């Protein structure tokens, strides 16, 4: 004979509620497990609270950085005493190009602006026949003009082989006969690689360069408002600062973590600034440059 057990109505209700609670807790754990796969641990009784193994993103506190700068006698490195040459390229939107070259070793300064046309004093809203260009000061002992051209050919946003309005056209403005010769030889070699496409880049002599408005300079860096403020950047330094040039590239993910760690101590950053920048480089490495 099979033994049986009789439950009262109240006992049945209690058993059912207990089972429902256990099931609810189990479903909560399963849901949270699948909702986040980054080793976050949740308290099932407080599902809004999560403890992750990843560090919380560091932030910049201006007062803390100011105290560090004073105590450690650290100042941002805005200029470097290195002999340089200058190259000027148009390769689409100049925001991405400035970050690309800024995060490249051997680049000392970058400035975005307008050139190649006939209009006096062009502005972004009244560009005339000018093109968005990037002026690059580089250390020829570290990187050659030909190496700059390799970056130029392989990192256009648009306009290299497809006609586009003059503002974003592909353009090389040579500063001397040597650059002209290297550019002309380079376009021949590059064309061979791109058949059947036709490269439509223009190679022209350097003319008058008009720096773009301040809000265009170091555009990626200026997105980090508090960090930019702690670098003491005025209108001139936005165009000429060494540390601003480098961070504008690194913060966008150019160069990568390893290279940034190699250069970080040359930039005049405080511990808080270093921590913040390193985190951003780690997060953005390999991300796209263009808008």
DSSP code of residue 192? H
Least-confidence region, from 13-27, 118-132, 244-258: 13-27
Return all residues near 24 (Cβ < 8 A) that are at least 6 apart: none
Mean per-residue pLDDT for 246-259?
96
Indicate if the pLDDT at residue 57 is higher than 90: no
Indicate if the pLDDT at residue 39 is higher than 70: no
Structure tokens at 85: 């040459």
Q: Do 95 and 37 belong together in one domain?
A: no
Nearest by Cα to 204 from 172, 181, 250, 252: 172
Task: Work out how many domains the chain is built from and give that number.
Answer: 2
Domain contains 6: no
Q: What SS3 state is found at 72?
A: helix
Indicate if the pLDDT at residue 29 is higher than 80: no
User: At what angle are helices 271-284 and 242-250 packed, to 10 degrees?
Assistant: 40
Torsion angle in degrees (nearest 10) through CA of 279, 67, 73, 234:
70
pLDDT tens digit string along 187-216? 999 999 999 999 999 999 999 999 999 999
Cis? peptide before 196, omega within 30° of 0? yes
Indicate if the pLDDT at residue 251 is higher than 50: yes
Domain contains 275: yes
Q: Do 39 and 172 belong together in one domain?
A: no
Instruction: Calculate the average pLDDT of the chain.
Output: 86
Task: Say if CB 56 and CB 257 are below 8 A apart.
Answer: no
pLDDT tens digit string along 166-179? 999 999 999 999 99
Domain contains 81: yes
Task: Say if CB 134 and CB 91 are below 8 A apart.
Answer: yes
Domain contains 86: yes
Q: Do 157 and 190 belong together in one domain?
A: yes
Q: What global pTM score does this model have?
A: 0.80
Residues marked active site are found at 93
Q: Do 272 and 154 belong together in one domain?
A: yes
Interior angle at CA 106, CA 101 and CA 123, nearest 5: 35
Q: Do 95 and 215 belong together in one domain?
A: yes
Q: Do 47 and 69 belong together in one domain?
A: no
Return all residues near 77 (Cβ < 8 A) that are at least 6 apart: 242, 243, 266, 267, 268
| pLDDT for the residue numbered 22 | 52
| pLDDT for the residue numbered 50 | 32
Domain encompassing residue 33: 17-51
Domain contains 142: yes
pLDDT tens digit string along 270-279? 999 999 999 9
């Amino acid at each position: 004979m099979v033994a049986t057990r009789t439950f009262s109505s109240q006992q049945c209700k209690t058993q059912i509620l207990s089972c429902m609670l256990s099931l609810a807790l189990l479903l909560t754990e399963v849901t949270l497990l699948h909702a986040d796969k980054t080793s976050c641990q949740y308290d099932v009784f407080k599902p809004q609270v999560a403890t992750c193994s990843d560090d919380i993103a560091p932030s910049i506190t201006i007062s803390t950085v100011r105290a560090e700068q004073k105590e450690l006698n650290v100042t941002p490195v805005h200029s470097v005493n290195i002999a340089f040459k200058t190259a000027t390229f148009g390769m689409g939107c100049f925001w991405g190009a400035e970050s690309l070259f800024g995060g490249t070793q051997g680049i000392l300064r970058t400035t975005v602006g307008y050139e190649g046309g006939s209009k006096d004093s062009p502005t972004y809203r009244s560009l005339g026949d000018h093109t968005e260009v990037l002026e690059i000061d580089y250390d020829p002992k570290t990187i050659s003009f030909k190496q700059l051209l390799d970056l130029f050919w392989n990192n256009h946003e648009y306009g290299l082989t497809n006609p586009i309005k003059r503002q974003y056209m592909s353009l090389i403005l040579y500063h001397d006969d040597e650059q002209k010769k290297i550019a002309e030889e380079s376009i021949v070699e590059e064309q061979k690689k791109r058949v059947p496409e036709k490269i439509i880049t223009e190679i022209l002599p350097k003319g008058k360069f008009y720096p773009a408005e301040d809000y265009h300079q170091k555009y990626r860096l200026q997105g980090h408002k508090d960090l930019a403020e702690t670098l003491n950047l005025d209108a001139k330094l936005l165009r000429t600062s060494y540390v601003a040039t480098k961070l504008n590239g690194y913060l966008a993910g150019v160069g990568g973590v390893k290279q940034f760690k190699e250069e970080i101590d040359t930039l005049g950053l405080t511990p808080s600034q270093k921590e913040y920048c390193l985190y951003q480089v780690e997060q953005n490495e390999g991300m796209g440059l263009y808008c």
